[in-house]
Structure 1
Amino acid sequence: MKLTAVLVLCILGIAHANLIAVAVRGAGTLDIIDPLSSTVVNSLPAGVLPGYVTNIGRNIYSSDSGSEYIYRFYVNDNNTVVENGRIPVRGCEGGFHMISTQDFTTRRFLAVTCSGSKNTFIVNPENTAVKQIIPVPKFPSWIDSSTAEPHDVVLNGRFIYITYLKLVSLDPKRPNPGFVVQYNAFTYEELNRVRTVSDPHVNAAGSSDLFVAAQSGTVAEGTAYQVNPTSMDIVEEFQTRWTSSAHGIVVSPDLERLYVGNIINQEVGIVTFDLTVYPMKKLCRVTMTAEERPHNLAVSNGFLFIASVSSDLVTRFELLNGKGCPVQATETFITVAGTTLGIADIDVSF
């Protein structure tokens, strides 16, 4: 059905190509990049401190840490992104990571973590109603959770996964932990959780895999995990110098590759994992990045895009055969309006 629709659109001459959307925190804009030409084609106001970007079809959403709004945009028939109002999220202070339900699901909603108010808002993007506010859960007694806050979030049709950080260990034998907590997407009740090293980030591949990048900052602890999305059992765990500060994490559109950015400890680069085998395996040599802190990642049209959060540059690598490892010699840079944060591939075909 999807392929037929795309072919019809192509014949009519109105097919929509994917776009890259970048939350430009340093300029208060959402910058739109054509992934094929590597040019900025539009720059739109997106609040005070734009955070993270996601989309549902032609609708693009950007969180704002400096207001209690989600900024909304629309990809029109000319494949141009235009402003489309904003959604109030009263009580969400410090809106940060935000994601929509994955494209294969029929129940579409937004989840945004609020670092200031220490809760996560679930929002219906159609009527802009707040469906649920999820508070910080309780943690074991050996953890001081007084400063705990939600950070990253990912959704599929059945579950919501929220990461928690700024948890302090009161046990000298245990390092400061992070947690990924699983919630029922219908009732919002907590179902399960997995403990990681500190500062975990998450991504999902369909409904069959959950991936975690945790950036403790030490070689002995920094880790990339593959997690069973139902039981929350750890399937595979990688602890190397190349995952010592694992942060940015993205699954390729064909669900065959996982790309993880390592952001500090002088081991700045992209680690590529093969998801066609189970458990996942490291696929190739690490791809070094000239820009510091490859913080957030997006894959589009056979390219890997990186927002570094330390400059006004977005990095682009060609992927081997359009779907493999980033090719070191193809590294190029795209200048946007200011320092970046969130970045997303906008696929309007769903």
Structure 2
Amino acid sequence: MPVDPVRLTADLIRCNSVTPAEGGALVLLERLLTEGGFTCTRVDRGGIANLFARWGARGANRSFGFNGHTDVVPVGDAAAWTHDPFGGEIVDGVLWGRGATDMKSGVAAFAAAALDFVRETPPDGAVILAITGDEEGDAEDGTTALLDWMAANGERMTHCLVGEPTCPNEMGEMMKIGRRGSMTCWFTAEGVQGHSAYPHRARNPMSALVKLLARLEEKPLDEGTAHFDASTLAITTIDCGNPATNVIPARGTATVNIRFNDAHSGASLTDWLAGHARAVEAETGVRITMRVQISGESFLTPPGPLSDLIARAVEAETGRRPELSTSGGTSDARFVKDHCPVVEFGLVGKTMHQVDERVEVAQIEQLKTIYSRILREYFA
């Protein structure tokens, strides 16, 4: 009997798996996949639960992988929800709950497609599911832990599809063949405190920060590249915690976030930021230090056989040829790209992370048919 992806999504939503809690979601999937003939291994690390599942022989010539996550973001104000965020209720053809879009539906769709596929038409090769409980958090012990474990145990995906929501408004509109890099920089400026009536006796760290931030925003980082939009820099905080209006503070902080394309690397942008900080430091006499966190480098899976396969399947099931995009934030594809070619395709993502997150039941069913077609064509 075919696996119902809608029922499976609802069951997963009922698992309260707000990062880093497992909530029973991976236990449910492990039981279902084991019953379906998959060899399952829990790959837990750093208090994070992860699941590796393989049907077929280890080291097979061809192994198609799916990657996704069962952890979800917090619900916020539960009283603001129309339906219980962990109820998995279906009303008028719509499934409600945290994770309905991002991305328990995607996991359910590819798990259901894989289970039906290996039962009905056992392939000459392997089907791998790499499912993490740490995508919405720091992502240090999630997909990276799975990939580390795979490398240590001779497991490999030849190609991988990440089931994140990728479509802006309609099913089939868009797939991701890459992602921009992401980095955050925290600046700390150390000056000399003084009376605001006598600024010449102080050294104002806030003036130095304002000057630095103005320099960073003065010109665009670039105009975009062949497959990427222009890189962006956003000032996200500036503060000194000063309760007095007549005191120049001794210390101030500011934070910027950069989303960058393949014209840059995290290292090159770090050098660029440091250069501007040193210049402002020399001009103002205010000491500026910085701390950088690079969440992921930009990457691209060039258009080719994998993206063509996904696009054909999407078009066959939806009537739309998906746009090949690199827009949006980051995803775990940024880790998978070091293991094998990877693309992303999934649901319409309009309500992800929102109060009243929800998805049309028909979209989940359609997503399963797309994933099923991809498997059939890949192993044909």
Provide TM-score, normalisation by structure 2. Answer: 0.23
Q: Which has the higher contact order (CA 8 A, sep 6+)?
A: 2
Q: Which structure has the highest helix share of the two?
A: 2
Q: Which structure has the highest strand share of the two?
A: 1
Larger Rg: 2
Provide TM-score, normalisation by structure 1. Answer: 0.25
